[in-house]
Structure 1
């Protein structure tokens, strides 16, 4: 096996153009694999639940995936720093694809939840290693930002076609096909990665690494408890169980901090958190995830449930948000390398996110569709300016030694921010909507219909609405008026929930000043070998 230094080709990229392109196509397919799965499955979930009859495990189809991926991202990010990333990228594709087949073969909700957990492990391995591969291939930040557009485009395409593809496959080929669609994408990913992605590892890391198992276990407990907490709070509120979960998460995080300070082979290098620039970027990762996921989750619910749009029309409204994340990333790659202060792109990005959130907060059913789509477009541009820069800035600041774990941590913290955001916004929306519905029903002396209207999903399911309207009419109530009151309650609740996301975006804008000036010119110490 040939070994040659990265500098043999160029200080800005490890491989010649053609090989770089093929390697990046492989990484892009890998990114598409995870992004496509997340968007396609969501559309099929109601059908899956009705067939497998396990509504009590509904949330766990998503939770098991998220939980295992959030835990494994930092672990494999660190392992990739030491052993090189290619073996883990290949393993992640195999694990993810096999788990997809198992999901498609599921004959019970419990089996599906377990298979989704296995998918989460594959997804965590993938996110923890694939994002850092780009920095290995392109040590120069300017060159990397241009190549990163391929990955952003793949992500954007998967997000754009995912919901429609999920609906089409579920309707015409059954829900199992939404998992089997991962097979051709996985096969293509494997071919390109196996053939073209070089095995890059750091020269300084020789000999056998001792894996920090206590650190890995503490990460799993801290993040796992937090994930279950944010899933449970919106449904149960503050109970002994939820308090115990958050206490366990905090205690494990504190124990992890003290353990990693003493551990000679720490999986989570504590010195990264002492770096003011990295600490500021990690904070922005959490805050950015909070705003991003709140917008992505609750804008569609507002359009469908609150404004009464069809799934097709609501999808059309959301499309600019998803598409302009990619367009924003492409534009960012061109702009950030030409401006005197690259940090200014963070200010612009978060300012656009503030405008987008406030736009949704003031949105009404009477607002012209083009205006709504403009707010979505602005939000997409904002995310396209923020997310790539956070990654590249963190890689530049962390240096070669901690490149993988810094990249992986940023992705994990973004997901954690998203978990917290959807939980807090979800709790607000759920309680405000429920109290609004209860008030409307009490006025009409129809409080015993509360269980039927307490779930906002009734405002999306047309068949369930028709059934409820006929039952309310037979009981002498004005069903259409009560349904309209429920819609108004949902709109008001989501407005308040997304106002919280807007406040977080304003805090992000303010926090951006804590990031020291980033210099993008030049490579990140290309001390790697290609095998």
Structure 2
């Protein structure tokens, strides 16, 4: 494949306007694919688990995707630096779309968790390569911020229709359609990327490249054992197996550090973590992911299971959260290049996310939907201020040699935060809910029904509720009152979990002071393109 230097056009972009537009449309459709999946599945998830049964695996539907994504993002981010990103973007679209079809065909929670893990591999490849394509196309960060409006608009369209679409599809066509909707979007993104995205890579890696597979394996072992530790220690306590997992995670992380220091071409360049600005941005990415995913995955369960809303109505209430991520991102692009201290957008964003969490914690069944949606607007604006700035600040600081891996690590660390957020919030919700429901059933001498009511999905599945109420009434119990007690227990449990996310958002706002002041400069750097 021939390699040549691409000429610069129009202030810091490597292609003419028309070619830049078509290439960005390809990347935008990829973004839409991932965003649509997250929002549609998040709204449909309570119904999915209610039908397939197995609330114990509720968090794993999210965390299996996040775990495999976290592992693959830095691997393919680095490979994209070496070989160019286009081949990996194409492969990831095919894998993600195929795994979506498997998710839609799932007949058990275990199969669904496995399929979501496979889907996460494709999603990790997408995130690890597609986001860095924008910095390749637009080396000038000011120009890049303007072109990112197109990507943010695609993200916004997906987020705007995602929750409502997820609720509508789930209610009228079944939850499987929430996965099948990825198929046409995946095909469209594949056509655009294949045809219009240029194959670009950098001149620094001309010789034979030795892939750091030991480093990739150590990353996988360390993160997966850590994830299992978080899940199992809350459920089983500190058993010998759980102790072995944390020891394995620590040992593999130590071995990773030793190996990467000695590696000529490390998959994880450790010198990036010695950069004060990058280290602070990486930490904020973890904290932002914790809060964002906790809110995205447990607010729908609060609305459907706790407040009794239909999937469609719950999706309508959640929609402002994801729509205003885009509006906030577009607004941020207009503001951040014009203010003296761009860093201020980070702490404003985290404070707004904390306000959204506070509103969710204070939410009751009687709270007007307009007020609850206002809190969701604040959360969306906050995330719209935080997410693009973390990416642009990191790309600005890392330089072109580490552009792909820096972008990938930022996304990967956000997923790690989301992984722990959903796992810890899910564990807290499960433990509190079961304790309260168990106490209520014991007080009513209705403990034989504990197995049916210990799973909060009974509060989403209306057919199962009618059957349970009939059984309880036949035995002389007030089934409606016991179900209402269960709803109150679920609401209190989710409130506690989101309160933790609010504390994390406030801590992140305080930690923004650690980020050295970033200057958005106009200094294009040459790239290399191969056609």
Kindly state the Cα deviation for residue 246 of structure 1 after the two structures are TM-superposed. Answer: 2.7
Query: Partners of 2:59 and 2:226 in 1: how far apart?
Result: 15
Tell me if the contact between 2:231 and 2:427 (Cα under 8 Å) persists in the aligned partners. Answer: no
Query: Partners of 1:421 and 1:448 in 2: how far apart?
Result: 33
Question: Where does 1:26-425 land on structure 2 (aligned, <5 Å)?
Answer: 26-41=26-41, 62-103=62-103, 114-166=114-166, 168-169=168-169, 177-425=177-425
Query: Partners of 1:50 and 1:198 in 2: how far apart?
Result: 45
Kindly state the Cα deviation for residue 422 of structure 1 after the two structures are TM-superposed. Answer: 1.3
Q: Against the structure 1 CA distance between its residues 300 and 146, is the aligned structure 2 distance closer, same or farther, given a 3 Å change threshold?
A: same
Tell me if the contact between 1:77 and 1:404 (Cα under 8 Å) persists in the aligned partners. Answer: yes
Kindly state the Cα deviation for residue 450 of structure 1 after the two structures are TM-superposed. Answer: 2.1
Aligned-residue Cα RMSD (Å) equals 2.6
Kindly state the Cα deviation for residue 61 of structure 1 after the two structures are TM-superposed. Answer: 5.2
TM-score, structure 2 as length reference: 0.92
Tell me if the contact between 1:69 and 1:121 (Cα under 8 Å) persists in the aligned partners. Answer: yes
Query: Partners of 1:252 and 1:428 in 2: how far apart?
Result: 28
Query: Partners of 1:258 and 1:186 in 2: how far apart?
Result: 40
Q: Against the structure 1 CA distance between its residues 487 and 51, is the aligned structure 2 distance closer, same or farther, given a 3 Å change threshold?
A: closer
Any idea what SS the aligned residue of 2:400 has? Answer: coil
Tell me if the contact between 1:399 and 1:525 (Cα under 8 Å) persists in the aligned partners. Answer: no
Kindly state the Cα deviation for residue 165 of structure 1 after the two structures are TM-superposed. Answer: 3.5
Q: Deviations over 1:191-227 (max 9, x none)?
A: 2112221111112221121111110110111122223
Kindly state the Cα deviation for residue 471 of structure 1 after the two structures are TM-superposed. Answer: 1.7
Match of 1:432 in 2: 432
Q: Against the structure 1 CA distance between its residues 52 and 468, is the aligned structure 2 distance closer, same or farther, given a 3 Å change threshold?
A: closer
Which stretch shifts more, 405-414 or 87-96? 87-96
Match of 2:502 in 1: 502
Kindly state the Cα deviation for residue 17 of structure 1 after the two structures are TM-superposed. Answer: 1.3
Tell me if the contact between 1:140 and 1:521 (Cα under 8 Å) persists in the aligned partners. Answer: yes
Match of 1:516 in 2: 516
Match of 1:488 in 2: 488
Query: Partners of 1:489 and 1:43 in 2: how far apart?
Result: 21
Match of 1:473 in 2: 473
Q: How many residue pairs get matched?
A: 531
Query: Partners of 2:405 and 2:244 in 1: how far apart?
Result: 29
Tell me if the contact between 2:320 and 2:373 (Cα under 8 Å) persists in the aligned partners. Answer: yes
Match of 1:24 in 2: 24
Q: Deviations over 1:288-323 (max 9, x none)?
A: 001111111222222222222222222111111011
Kindly state the Cα deviation for residue 172 of structure 1 after the two structures are TM-superposed. Answer: 6.0
TM-score, structure 1 as length reference: 0.92
Query: Partners of 2:173 and 2:461 in 1: how far apart?
Result: 21
Q: Against the structure 1 CA distance between its residues 177 and 513, is the aligned structure 2 distance closer, same or farther, given a 3 Å change threshold?
A: same
Kindly state the Cα deviation for residue 75 of structure 1 after the two structures are TM-superposed. Answer: 0.3
Query: Partners of 2:57 and 2:22 in 1: how far apart?
Result: 41
Tell me if the contact between 2:59 and 2:426 (Cα under 8 Å) persists in the aligned partners. Answer: no
Any idea what SS the aligned residue of 1:202 has? Answer: coil
Query: Partners of 2:492 and 2:175 in 1: how far apart?
Result: 34
Kindly state the Cα deviation for residue 234 of structure 1 after the two structures are TM-superposed. Answer: 4.9
Query: Partners of 1:488 and 1:174 in 2: how far apart?
Result: 27
Q: Deviations over 1:236-283 (max 9, x none)?
A: 444333332233222211211121111111110000011110000000
Any idea what SS the aligned residue of 1:211 has? Answer: coil
Kindly state the Cα deviation for residue 453 of structure 1 after the two structures are TM-superposed. Answer: 1.9
Tell me if the contact between 2:41 and 2:166 (Cα under 8 Å) persists in the aligned partners. Answer: yes
Q: Against the structure 1 CA distance between its residues 518 and 431, is the aligned structure 2 distance closer, same or farther, given a 3 Å change threshold?
A: same
Query: Partners of 1:427 and 1:101 in 2: how far apart?
Result: 29
Query: Partners of 1:328 and 1:267 in 2: how far apart?
Result: 33
Query: Partners of 1:46 and 1:499 in 2: how far apart?
Result: 21
Which stretch shifts more, 447-456 or 76-85? 447-456
Match of 1:442 in 2: 442
Kindly state the Cα deviation for residue 507 of structure 1 after the two structures are TM-superposed. Answer: 0.8
Q: Which runs of 5+ in 1 are unaligned?
A: none
Q: Deviations over 1:113-136 (max 9, x none)?
A: 555443322221111000000011
Q: Which runs of 5+ in 2 are unaligned?
A: none
Which stretch shifts more, 106-115 or 135-144? 106-115
Any idea what SS the aligned residue of 2:333 has? Answer: helix
